[in-house]
Amino acid sequence: MQSQQPTTVVVLGTGGTIAGTAARADDNVGYRAAQLGVDALVDTLRGALPDGVTLETEQVAQLNSKDMTHAVWAALAHRVAAHLARAEVAGIVVTHGTDTLEETACFLQRLLAPAKPVVLTCAMRPATSLLADGPQNLRDAITVAAHAGARGVVAVVAGAVHGALDVRKAHTYRLDAFASGDAGPIGRVEEGRLRRLRDWPAGTALGLAVLGDDAARWPRVEIVASHAGADGRVVDALVVQGVDGLVVAATGGGSVHEALEAALVRAQDTGVAVLRASRVGAGPLLPRDDDVLPAASGLTPAQARVELLLQLLARRAAP
């Protein structure tokens, strides 16, 4: 007998502008994020769900994503993994704020590399605004989460499907505020149907075990920036404070001010892990013969911080 296609999509709420309330219906600036629960968001879609899809909801957190914490990441990862392990679940949708969505997406993909889809979605306008974008984004995300053959962590915003390691917030207020750099979107949701343009995210999962039992004890990883007039004092101060890892938001194709680079090399020599990422919005870091600092090519500085954090956690968890 042929097994039945899973039809349940679990929507996990974490807050964000998609759950925000405006002071007035036409106010997209003066609003409070994370005011509505995930059930209220899903209620806007009753009667407008993809055919045959059953929804379940769970509130994992309720916060403005600028205030995202490691503890919420850990809780979210465990709940995502638990639901993915259920045979009847086709996929997961996570409602999230826009500010740190690219970090959470990167975190979940590198940690879980799921064989089912985990779809982050968000909104640039609060739920009570006159022309809220959240309901359409949420419906599109459910469409992708229920799509047969979909896998990996993606973000669905303004009809575009972005891979977890490619997505980045590229505009401060436009409804299509996210981009995928050179890679381009994985697909688009058009009139309720997914048109796929390239492969789903793939990779090897690090696994939940690397997280340990206490997010407060995760390694400390900070971001420093290279710029005109940069020096190494901030790096030296962070090393004295006991930082475990440093990401440098490099200029151009990965170049770092010589004074800052010298301090980062000193830090690296003392055992601090270092990664370079570019502060430019698109383009890889091409290797050069004189590189002295490893590169996280293709990742934003914020995503590179997630990558380094997970590398250090995996190192700590290794036998």
- 284-311 core/surface letters (b: 16 or more CB in 10 A; e: else): ebeeeeeeebebbbbbbbbbbbbbbbbb
* Run of H or E residues at 163: strand 160-163
Contacts of 82 (CB under 8 A, 6+ apart): none
Contact 129, 22 (CB under 8 A): yes
Q: Which of 292, 302, 296 is nearest to 269 (CA)?
A: 292
Rg of the chain on CA atoms, in Å: 20
Contact 33, 20 (CB under 8 A): yes
8, 14, 17, 95: the catalytic one is 17
- C-alpha separations of 103 from 142, 164, 259, 302, 305 in Å: 21, 9, 29, 6, 9
Tell me if residue 17 is catalytic.
yes
Tokens of 227: 């710029």
Phi, psi of 234 (to 5 degrees): -65, -35
Amino acid present at 301: P
Report, as residue numbers or ranges, the catalytic residues. 17
